[in-house]
Structure 1
Amino acid sequence: MSMLQNAMHLLECINRVKTHDDMASVMRLIAEQLGFQYFALTQHVDVIAAGASAIHIHNYPARWADFYAENALGVTDPVHRASHLTSLGFRWSKISALIPLTSGDRRQLVRGRQAGIGDGFTIPSNVGGEAPGSCTFANSADRPLREDGLVLAQLLGNYAFDAARQLWAVPKRQGAATLITDRQRDCVQWAARGKSDWETSQILGISKETVTSHIKEACARYQVNKRILLVGRTLGDGTLTISDIGGWRHPHFWE
């Protein structure tokens, strides 16, 4: 089968997807056909907080998948941050050309390798008004990526994520209200931009104590106890967007 014939066959497989299980099966097939061991089709949100509403299917090793979910890496993962700055697929070995890597980022990448994941190829999917996402294919450290599979990975990754968006789409309630007030949202937005409670109070013209109270109440409404998780939740449900918080280029996300 030629490359074109193979691509058309796999695109047709994606077109026939009707359920989440179907999508997982097709992603396994695509990974196998292109010479990859692992795949991940996911939105860049706190996957535990978002639950079944978020696109998140993969076949990563269990210990890495658990660590990823428990630490809300969907929001801060360096691979994800890099994908917010390009529309083209990229190898993980090239991430440092897209974003500056902190020591924490490097430890995270090492931890992934220790869990059995070496280099990967990530195809971004950034749609305005929705949580960003990506399709990733990866191999273990002892299995180099096949160069001849990357072009098809770009095509099929984009197509698969768009199909997943349609499959996971949940109609929004008319007039649905956010969980937090406008003022609480303002405080969370500035906190996400790296501002202290005092700095936020000066920007908004309210007291530092009021800012702290607003953020604590927002955490309570989202049932989280960390500000980074609060930011993840507000990004996940659309209360805040990446543009609202200054984009992933903001140094606050690399500290």
Structure 2
Amino acid sequence: MAIQLARIVETVGSAEDLTVTMAAISVELGFQYFALSHHVDVAMAGDAAIRLHNYPQRWADYYDENALGVSDPVHRASHVTSIGFPWSRMAAMIPLTPGDHHILALGRAHGVGDGFTVPAHVPGEACGSCSFACEVGRPLPQVMLPLAQLAGNFAFEAARRLWSGRGGHLPYPGPALTDRQRDCILWVARGKSDWEISRILGISEETVARHIKQACARYGVNKRTLLVIRALFDGTLTFLDIFRRRYAPFRE
């Protein structure tokens, strides 16, 4: 069945075909709903963002009107793992706020019960995922979750192919930075001043400031905080870079 799933989603020729295919696969796996999307504000991203689903229309409308694509707790939980997870595990993965519990309760009120989400992380692109969900009152089909993992992976890749092939672009591609610009952003992210960075990298304070200014210009931002966020968002930096790894031969 895994091979059949791969062949089905790899051969679809349009977003409409992929929607129909994923709806059928969802039922085959024991779910009623699916959602395949980038984690972005859909209204702002427009056609550039992957977004396919068969959720109840009232819930989809509310979701989009309130720009939940960015703050959705399911999406946020998917950013801290590389494998699929049941929604019932989210509280152990990320801190859930009262607002998060409210969003989940609203989903249930619209008929969407428990679910299973497969993360999709591609450097240089917005994060995304493929979720499968059950109607309220129906149990998660535990025995089918390994196949749901595979189906979600293949489906997101199929969506990426379709979005690229139709002339669109995937959201938020990162600019090309020099190695020195990246080094400077890394040490900014670690809380260092221009003077401290100059001592660490063995260059002048003015050169550090110039590298950071040029990196800001390439990203189209004017704040160092936004520069770090964008570099993390597109894969130029990772949290592992900031909190664990040290560049040889540089030392703090």
**Could you state the TM-score of these two structures normalised by the residue count of structure 2?**
0.69
Q: CA separation in 2, counterparts of 1:133 and 1:160?
A: 11
CA contact (8 A) 1:190 1:245 kept: no
What's the secondary structure of 2:21's corresponding residue?
A: helix
Q: Would you say 1:67 and 2:95 are equivalent positions?
A: no
Please tell me whether residue 185 in structure 1 is matched to residue 180 in structure 2. Answer: no
The count of residues paired between Structure 1 and Structure 2 equals: 194
Mapping for residues 196-235 of structure 1, pairs under 5 Å: none
Match of 2:114 among 79, 103, 119: 119
Gaps of 5+ in 2: 176-215, 240-252
Shift in Å, 1:241:
1.8
What's the CA shift for 1:190?
A: 2.9
- Letter in structure 1 aligned against 2:14: T
Q: CA deviation at 1:77?
A: 0.6
CA distances 1:78-101 after superposition (whole Å, capped 9, x unpaired): 100000110110011100111000
The match for 1:42 among 37, 51, 67 is 37
Superposition deviation, residue 70 in structure 1: 1.0
Query: CA 1:104–1:68 in 2, change beyond 3 Å: closer, same or farther?
Result: same
Q: CA deviation at 1:245?
A: 10
> Structure 1 residues 9 and 71, CA, compared in 2 at 3 Å: closer, same or farther?
same
* 1:101-128 deviation per Cα after TM superposition (whole angstroms, max 9, x unaligned): 0011111110110011010000000011
Separation of aligned partners in 2, 1:58 and 1:44: 13
Seen in structure 2, the aligned counterparts of structure 1 residues 70 and 246 have a Cα distance that, compared at 3 Å, is farther
Q: What is the distance in 2 between the residues matched to 1:51 and 1:88?
A: 28
Preserved CA contact (<8 Å) 2:34 2:130 = yes
1:244 is displaced (CA, Å) by 8.2
Compute the RMSD of aligned alpha carbons.
2.8
TM-superposition CA deviations, 1:208-230 (whole Å, max 9, x none): xxxxxxxxxxxxxxxxxxxxxxx
2-structure distance, mates of 1:35, 1:183: 44
- Structure 1 runs of 4+ aligned residues shifted over 6 Å read 242-247
Q: Are residues 26 and 177 of structure 1, via their aligned partners in 2, closer, same or farther at CA, if it must alter by over 3 Å?
A: closer
Q: What per-residue deviation string (whole Å, max 9, x for no partner) do you get for residues 11-51 of structure 1?
A: 21112111111111110111011010000000000111111
Q: Is 1:241 equivalent to 2:236 in the alignment? A: no
**Bigger CA radius of gyration:** 2
1:116-195 mapped onto 2 (5 Å cutoff)? 116-169=111-164, 170=167, 185-187=221-223, 190=225
Matched to 1:153, the amino acid is A
In 1, Cα distance between equivalents of 2:233 and 2:219: 16
- Rounded to whole Å, the distance in 1 between the matches of 2:10 and 2:152 is 13
Counterpart position of 1:228: none
Q: Distance in 2 between matches of 1:190 and 1:63?
A: 37
Question: In structure 1, how many angstroms separate the alpha carbons of the residues matched to 2:232 and 2:81?
Answer: 21
Question: Normalised by the size of structure 1, how large is the TM-score?
Answer: 0.69
Contact 1:192 1:245 in 2 (8 A): no
Percent of matched pairs sharing the same residue: 49
Aligned to 1:223: none
From 75, 96, 104, give the equivalent of 1:101: 96
Following the alignment from structure 2 to structure 1, what is the Cα–Cα distance between the partners of residues 237 and 218?
Answer: 15
CA contact (8 A) 1:120 1:138 kept: yes
> Does the alignment pair 1:29 with 2:64?
no
